[in-house]
Structure 1
């Protein structure tokens, strides 16, 4: 069975080749601790108040071992591994959520476009506090996913908590989530391309959508590439999307423990946008594969980034089937990835060229960095390796006024303004409705939360 190579904020990430990593613990001490594990298992089996299933205990121990490493290393039981492969193939039955865990709290990374959760206004960073009236505290991502999935047409009641608001109970009707990775439409003279996730179909879908838009609109003047709330996916898809807009040069590199573990990915000749200006929309729900694309286009000065600083998921995971998947799989961090200029994204994120909050309320969230859900909030996140830190609380450069209609996408409006200015920010006029929101004094660095996500 082939390895599954993924990148994403929910501990499904990318990988190169499996590698045997020698233990730093002396062999005798390792054997002693393994013997201790066996002793504890035997005591539990013999003395616990009710009969236990050793398979469940050992799987729980494996999960604990992996989560002791970093937030994105994990053990997947066989059924979880099957679910992972199903999601990357582009369809499944559920409520349409990408989730992660933060020390006993399961949080939303991103709702999937057009799914039941997205239609119910579930947002990145929302906490799932209960499912069918039963507390979700302490449940793993796999356990929550299992409760959320089910036959199409059935209902599940989920309670969500959001910073500064009362808990909200929502009834979601499960449906077959067919993820259209790429969709497109025209916004006046500009083409709008939405990439919702990076799966096996993304590269092909991007080519198809762009070809259709060109055929129907031969005078396209530029492109908006929307990566907001895109939590990641396949490395190959991220490379394909980046390559679609680049003629040459490095797209991304990944670097492991030793110099021999460096892999570089380069663009091939051919720009689907024919050199026209590109504006890329990102926000703090844009993670991993999205950051690879945004970082590559920004470093090559091929696109102008508009929105908010991205999530900051810059570590590399390799998914390794155990006994061909019969015993599940490991998702283990093996490297960090870097933009073409050599910048690590891990815990830092990609900063936009034009910082724009979608709403005044979102601007206030940016002003209170502890409210921003990002890789830097993980208590055991891998460091950036370059000594840099994510920008702390601050006033965004732009935000719409309080009376700006919610159904009008202010970030998209500003991206279109960037294209009208030919991508030249110096020539970009201020939008009439732009306001500077009065916010608290900024913090110097981001406040790291007391707890952090795991899987």
Structure 2
């Protein structure tokens, strides 16, 4: 399997680097760190000699590696052949299962996002849910690959998962019928009033080109000219840094898109407009970007770039706040490190680490009856154990101001359902664009 393929889904906003290690380099490290390595080796020897049961070397070495990476931050990890193959499958082909993206969080399986239209999505599983049991069996503390293996299976077969949803008092069971999951990173539709809606579900290969194709098809479908575009990045956990740059570049004709700054000079990279596409392919079309607490990393790069350049109005909820870049560093033919090597910054110099992207207009998802409770208990980057600290101090008020009540948003989910509105955030964005009459509201 090629590392270049695996990298596209390996992390949120990931860059690939192949860094050869020389013998001289290892000798330098060993010379500087020999007391620490001696302590590690002494611990290994004690365990091998005195533990109550024999322990395989593979268990001890893997545990040491996992422990080192866990001490750094929540996003650095060791990936072996199974994990790399799983990531490759997720991005390059299809598979049979539930259609959800998950991550391990302190031993618990957390749903990052259900894929739109997937069996999990249709069964009502939501971003931020925790899966505690599979077919009645507790899965806390399970390796992520083992949990994935249990949830996958032949299309048409049923699986019962127990869900704990922040904001609810009790867990509940959901029966999901597995299906064939066709990965669709980009989908689009033309809405009333010649408003285009492009949903980007993840930043995998060719997302920039797919969005450009979607925009062209929407322009062809429109009666007359396209009046506005909703670029929907909600529940998008990120992906390729290159594709985030490409998507941003579609709508920008000058200036910086994102800056990446790391410990080493080679990790300091600046990405500018017109590095992928020439000019603004949307020719000034009014754009609203929708984000929420599940919008992370590459999604935040796009939202931050278009917001800083006043090219788009950002609506929704404050984003996740993952402002770090992970690099995939191959170790062997079937193993690699996913290591945090840099932070990224928006064109105005903002780091979204911890704080996230604040929307220009905070629009709650009123059509979801659990949205308010889930927002109060939403887990973001700043809540993760061992997360990187933003170098710029963030006042507490700035992190909670988007939770204040707004008199414009008082309708209940039941009232919206009676009105035929099942996605209030999208409906609000579309109505806003219709009122603008083709004016770029981000520049007003």
**TM-score interval for Structure 1 and Structure 2 normalised by the shorter chain:** 0.7 to 0.9
**Which one of the candidate residues 81, 85, 88 is aligned to 2:84?**
81
* In 2: Cα distance, 1:315 partner to 1:231 partner: 13
Q: CA deviation at 1:23?
A: 6.0
Distance in 1, matches of 2:13 and 2:47, equals 32
Aligned partner (choices 158, 178, 182) of residue 178 of structure 1: 182
Matched, 1:404 2:421: no
CA contact (8 A) 1:283 1:307 kept: yes
Residues 93 and 56 from structure 1, CA distance in 2 versus in 1: closer, same or farther, beyond 3 angstroms? farther
Q: Confirm whether residue 164 of structure 1 aligns to residue 173 of structure 2.
A: no
Match for residue 147 of structure 1? Answer: 150
Q: Does 1:349 find its partner at 2:356?
A: yes
- State the Cα deviation string for residues 358-382 of structure 1 (Å, max 9, x = none): 11756633773xx012111112111
User: Is 1:395 aligned to residue 398 of structure 2?
Assistant: no
Q: How far 1:227 sits from its partner (Å)?
A: 0.6
2:300 pairs with 1:296: no
**1: distance between equivalents of 2:64 and 2:34?**
21
Instruction: Decide which of 222, 227, 248 is 1:221's aligned counterpart.
Output: 227
Task: Give 5+ residue unaligned stretches, structure 1.
Answer: 428-455
Matching residue of 1:275: 284
Q: After superposition, what is the alpha-carbon deviation per residue over 1:368-418, rounded to whole angstroms, capped at 9, x for unaligned?
A: 3xx012111112111112222561263143534124324432111221233
User: 1:415 — aligned with what?
Assistant: 429
> For the Cα contact (< 8 Å) 2:167–2:373, is it kept in 1?
no
Count of aligned residue pairs for this structure pair: 419
TM-score when normalising by structure 2? 0.87
Instruction: Pick closer, same or farther for the CA change 1:108–1:25 going to 2, 3 Å.
Output: farther
The 1:340–1:150 alpha-carbon spacing in structure 2 relative to 1, beyond 3 Å, is same
Task: Indicate yes or no: 2:303 matched with 1:286.
Answer: no
What's the C-alpha RMSD, in Å, of the aligned pairs?
A: 2.6
Q: TM-score, normalised by structure 1?
A: 0.85
1:9-408 to structure 2, matched below 5 A, reads 11-15=11-15, 17-18=17-18, 26-43=32-49, 47-49=51-53, 52-165=55-168, 166-188=170-192, 189-217=194-222, 218-268=224-274, 269-325=278-334, 328-359=335-366, 361=369, 364-365=372-373, 368=376, 371-388=377-394, 391-392=399-400, 394-397=403-406, 398-402=408-412, 403-406=414-417, 407-408=421-422
Distance (Å, rounded) in 2 between the aligned partners of 1:347 and 1:129: 27
- 1:245 Cα deviation after fit: 1.1
1:264 CA displacement: 1.1
Q: Please give the per-residue CA displacement for 1:150-206, whole angstroms capped at 9, x wherever unaligned.
A: 233332221110123221111222222111111111111211111111111322321
User: How far apart in 2 are the matches of 1:277 and 1:178?
Assistant: 31
| Matched position secondary structure for 2:244 | helix
Could you say which structure has the higher helix fraction?
2
- After TM superposition, the structure 1 = structure 2 runs for residues 418-429 of structure 1, keeping only pairs within 5 Å, are 418-419=432-433, 420-421=435-436, 422-424=439-441
Structure 2: which 5+ residue stretches go unaligned? none
Q: 1:23 to 1:100 in 2, by over 3 A?
A: farther
Q: CA 1:60–1:245 in structure 2 vs 1: closer, same or farther (change >3 Å)? A: same
Query: How many Å apart are 1:114 and its aligned residue?
Result: 1.0
